[in-house]
Structure 1
Amino acid sequence: MKITIATKQYGRQAALFGFAASAIYLLMIFVTLAHIEVLSGLRPFDMRPGGYSDEQANSLLSALGPSGRRYYLARQIPLDLMYPALMALTLVSLLNWLGSRGIDRRLIQIGIWFSIGAASADYIENTGICLMILSWPETSANTVLAASVASIVKSGLTTGAVLTVLLGAIFWTFKRAHAYAR
């Protein structure tokens, strides 16, 4: 009985957090990040999973102009302060749901660490973006490098977390199919 309650709780949490994360993600993609790209003619920092150079960062900041940089700080960053936590909570809830269904705890723990690491890297990236915008035009090459590396790490860990969830779902599906075959 206790396992069933935990399973349902994790499922509800995953749905709730997933809905909120998806809503914020769509708002960022179709509104704030799209507006930043229109203003600058360049891809925003958040849309560069391979990172960016000092020259690319300065080109974006320059192309944004004062009002675009304010928009980034006032519109995009607040949304991107909510999104990483919601995404991590979604992934952790899904992983815990899979764990309550008998998926190997080591796989679940790896996925949880990937999820937390991805959110942490996203917050480091956001801090770097804020520092770059606030210090413009005296942006430090070290700040750009740190934000860029955080972006790359975030992308890699997010991919790892999502793949871990998918792998867990595949294991669970095969486990169920095997149980029904008996």
Structure 2
Amino acid sequence: MKMMIPTKKYGRQAALFGLAAAGFYLLMIYITLAHIEALSGLRPFDMRPGGYSAEQANSLINALGSSGRRYYLTRQIPLDLVYPSLMALTLVSLLKWLGSRDVSQKLVRIGTWLSITAAIADYLENAGICLMILSWPETSANTVLAASVASIVKSGLTTAAVLTVLLSAVFWASKRARTYAR
């Protein structure tokens, strides 16, 4: 006989982490990243899912000026040090909740792995952004390349993690619909 895992805990965790993640995301999008874009006239690194070249990175860092660079490091980066964990915890909690409702454990494991590695890639992106800003105007092409690759990887893994959660939810909803249809 299969033992049922308590699911309320996962649902509450998903809701709490999700609300916190949404709050941080909104702060970043509408305040810090919007301010960075207004200062520089260019899209911030965090808003470039396709990455960026050394020329684009240097243009952004230069356009920010010293106060904009300080703002990026002291306002945006601290928020973006909390957000990746909150996002991963939200997705993992949702997956655990769905997994406790008879969704494939393989799908739960894949989604959990994707969520955690997306957060790690986001932290690597943040480290690269900090290095670029702190070393400017002597930013190395390798640092830019590493940060850009981390941005691309983060975007791809985050998309895959969210799609895995959505796919899991569709499987759960279709199982549930078939059960009620009987």
TM-score (norm 1): 0.98
For the pair 1:3 / 2:4, whether they are aligned, the reply is yes
Could you tell me how far apart the structure 2 residues matched to 1:153 and 1:132 are? Answer: 18
Q: Deviations over 1:110-145 (max 9, x none)?
A: 000100010000000000000001001000110100
Alignment of 1:49-128 (within 5 A): 49-128=49-128
Give the drift of 1:3: 3.1
Give the drift of 1:181: 1.1
Letter in structure 2 aligned against 1:162:
V
Could you tell me how far apart the structure 2 residues matched to 1:146 and 1:108 are? Answer: 30
Letter in structure 2 aligned against 1:8:
K
Give every structure 1 segment of 4 or more consecutive aligned residues whose post-TM-superposition deviation is greater than 3 Å: none
Q: Deviations over 1:20-58 (max 9, x none)?
A: 000000000000000000000000000000000000000
Letter in structure 1 aligned against 2:114:
F
Letter in structure 2 aligned against 1:169:
A
Residue of structure 1 in register with 2:12 after alignment: 12
Could you tell me how far apart the structure 2 residues matched to 1:55 and 1:110 are? Answer: 36
What are the ranges of 5 or more consecutive residues in structure 2 without an aligned counterpart? Answer: none
Percent of aligned pairs sharing the same letter: 78
What are the ranges of 5 or more consecutive residues in structure 1 without an aligned counterpart? Answer: none
Residue of structure 1 in register with 2:175 after alignment: 175
Q: Deviations over 1:70-105 (max 9, x none)?
A: 000000000000000000000000000000000001
RMSD, matched Cα: 0.8
